[in-house]
Structure 1
């Protein structure tokens, strides 16, 4: 069954807990979403709170996908660029699909829903995101229409002697 996507849902305790669980589970499954396994909910919570603060300030929007049971299954945060010369594009952050749903095409569905949501934002012409090299993520994003436009070798240190590239991807919307 397809996911049901909502842009800018009300932040309820159930949504908060659902995203917290998703982020923790994705991180512990090896997902490149800002943490390195093992991680627990209390380690993830401050970062989620930062995202919620940015949402409350109007700088960030949340796209959430719920599965057929109403559980949070996927998320992406859309952050407006505040530099006055770069307000024509947005950042896509913390793109996650729960490990139990991977391999079902939900990642593609999430990226398509994010692009549709962003297309509805006035004056936005492109989406940028970064991904951690070494996991094949850039190939996945390229298969969804994103183009690699930059790479910083060894910018992400996931462990001693394990540095990964920070890969910049762009999706033009027209």
Structure 2
């Protein structure tokens, strides 16, 4: 992703339903693109951004965020392709494990990831906001 793609990527996140009003997407994009340990990959079709994934790594685990495919293009393999590209990005950095969070009521996403070989770890995620926007 290039910074000039920001508006298109945020529009995709909103259309795909991965945007949440309590997250600042501009801040998330800037942070993801500022260093070598994270990136945002995009998939384009006829010049339009139709898929994206934010990925990062901490030296041990990789993480996926904002995994999205435009609703008009879901079911065409784009989500699988962008996830594979992010796995390859992590693998090239020596990362052998990737994790992601799925809201418990998102059965469509759960089914998608299970079909890709992801397993529910039955873990509980805790969060604390230490620097509110």
Fold match, TM over 0.5? yes
List 4+ stretches of structure 1 deviating above 6 A: none
Structure number with larger C-alpha Rg: 1
TM-score (norm 2): 0.80
- Contact 2:52–2:68 (Cα < 8 Å) also in 1: yes
Does residue 26 (structure 1) correspond to residue 13 (structure 2)? The answer is: no
Q: Distance in 1 between matches of 2:101 and 2:89?
A: 19
Q: Distance in 2 between matches of 1:25 and 1:138?
A: 19
2:103 maps to: 132
Larger helix share, 1 or 2: 2
Larger strand share, 1 or 2: 1
Q: CA offsets, 1:118-162, max 9 Å, x none?
A: 2111x2111111111222222210110111112439x8xxxxxxx
Does residue 104 (structure 1) correspond to residue 76 (structure 2)? The answer is: yes
Task: Output the aligned Cα RMSD.
Answer: 2.2
Does residue 71 (structure 1) correspond to residue 48 (structure 2)? The answer is: yes
Q: Distance in 2 between matches of 1:16 and 1:116?
A: 23
- Show structure 2 runs of 5+ residues with no match: 127-133
TM-score (norm 1): 0.63
Equivalent residue pairs, number: 125
Q: Distance in 2 between matches of 1:99 and 1:151?
A: 29
